[in-house]
Amino acid sequence: MHPFDHQAPDTLAAAVKALAEDEDAQALAGGMSLVPVLRHRLAAPSVLVDLSRIPDLSFIRDHGDRLEIGAMTKHATVAASPEVRRRIPALAGLAGDIGDPLVRNRGTIGGSLANNDPAACYPSALLGLGGTVRTDRREIAADDFILGTFETALAPGELIVAVSFPVPEMAVHLKEKNFASRFSVVGLFLSRTGGRVRIGVTGAGPHAFRPTAFEDALSADFTPGALGGLAVPAGELNEDQHASAAYRSHLISVLAAMAVERCLAGGDGPRDGRA
């Protein structure tokens, strides 16, 4: 591994300052993506600015019409949270199906969104719920946040503080996962509020995206049949050793129809064996 220094500031301001002062500094959240990258010598930051000692970055707040989740909140915490399980069970289910328990015990929502892996789960929920990312300096709407593969609207040194999700009337998360990595081959998060449907798709393309033709069709007629014939063109999707682009296109259509059926059957909650 390349050598690097480690700082663990105890305020957000100190972390932002440390990142601003050194362009080779790198923020460290849970490290579930970053640490393997470092161990493979794929990055050589001068210093890791460890965010884990900053108080007040791990919280879940119910604001009535939305849930706000602190950037350093771990996937396991979101999955087990009574507030999330009650208000947006599909989001708790998503968090409880990321990676494995060892990953969920360290990985954070802020780290996942800042990294923006094209197959990560949280970006689909951010888009599918129409969430808002709050940083140390501004608020960024979901549709403006995800720009490309591992690319977000975050400026260098800009830190996510919290993510806010509107509470939908109903929502479902479905994921066809790679058996080895447990990343999404295709993951789909669908929500419906006031008749308006939003869908976030991950794993299928260069980054998470919204299949707007699906959303429009389902907003007009919320039945699986409304999707008849609709498909995201395979030419826009990933083709790799895990799945062909045509298969990913097929999965998006199938998962979308399944999500509608689940919603009509009352939606579903997390399935992790907890009471």
Partner 1 sequence: MPSVPSKTIHLSVNGRPVEAEVECRMPLAELLRDRLRLTGTHIGCDTSQCGACTVHVDGVAVRSCTLFAVQADGSEVRTIEGVGTAGEPHPLQAAFQEHHALQCGFCTPGMIMTALELLRTVPSPTPETVRHYLEGNLCRCTGYYNIVKAVLAAAAETQGTGRPADEGSGHASL
Site string for partner 1, 121-160 (x = CB under 8 A): ----------------------------------------
Residue 244, interface with partner 1 (CB under 8 A)? no
Is the Cβ of residue 102 or residue 147 nearer to partner 1 in the bound state? 102
Separation of alpha carbons 109 and 104, rounded Å:
10
Cα–Cα distance list, 232 to 134, 174, 226 (Å): 31, 17, 15
Q: Note the helical H segments in 130-180.
A: 142-145
Residue 274, interface with partner 1 (CB under 8 A)? yes
Residue 232, interface with partner 1 (CB under 8 A)? no
Supply angle C-alpha 102, 33, 3, rounded to 5: 110
The interface with partner 1 within residues 158-217 (CB under 8 A) comprises 182
Residue 268, interface with partner 1 (CB under 8 A)? no
> Of 25, 48, 140, 188, which one interacts with partner 1 (CB under 8 A)?
48
> Of 14, 35, 153, 254, which one interacts with partner 1 (CB under 8 A)?
35
Following DSSP, what letter does each residue of 236-255 receive, concatenated? GS--SSS--HHHHHHHHHHH
Stretch that binds partner 1, among 45-53, 64-72, 112-120, 137-145 (CB under 8 A): 45-53
The minimum distance between CB 112 and partner 1, in angstroms, equals 15
Q: Which residues pair with 67 in a beta bridge?
A: 62, 165
Identify whether the C-beta of residue 231 lies closer than 8 Å to the C-beta of residue 249.
Answer: yes
Going by C-alpha positions, the residue among 108, 112, 98, 13 that lies closest to residue 70 is 108
Size of the site for partner 1 (CB under 8 A): 32
> Of 18, 38, 94, 125, which one interacts with partner 1 (CB under 8 A)?
38
**Which value, to the nearest 10 degrees, does the dihedral of the CA atoms of residues 151, 241, 119, 274 take?**
-160
Residue 43, interface with partner 1 (CB under 8 A)? no
Residue 269, interface with partner 1 (CB under 8 A)? no
Residue 247, interface with partner 1 (CB under 8 A)? no
Helix (H) or strand (E) holding 184: strand 184-193
Identify whether the C-beta of residue 72 lies closer than 8 Å to the C-beta of residue 86.
Answer: no
* Interface ranges with partner 1 (CB under 8 A): 1-6, 8, 28, 31-32, 35-36, 38-40, 47-48, 50, 52, 76, 80, 99-103, 105-106, 182, 272-274
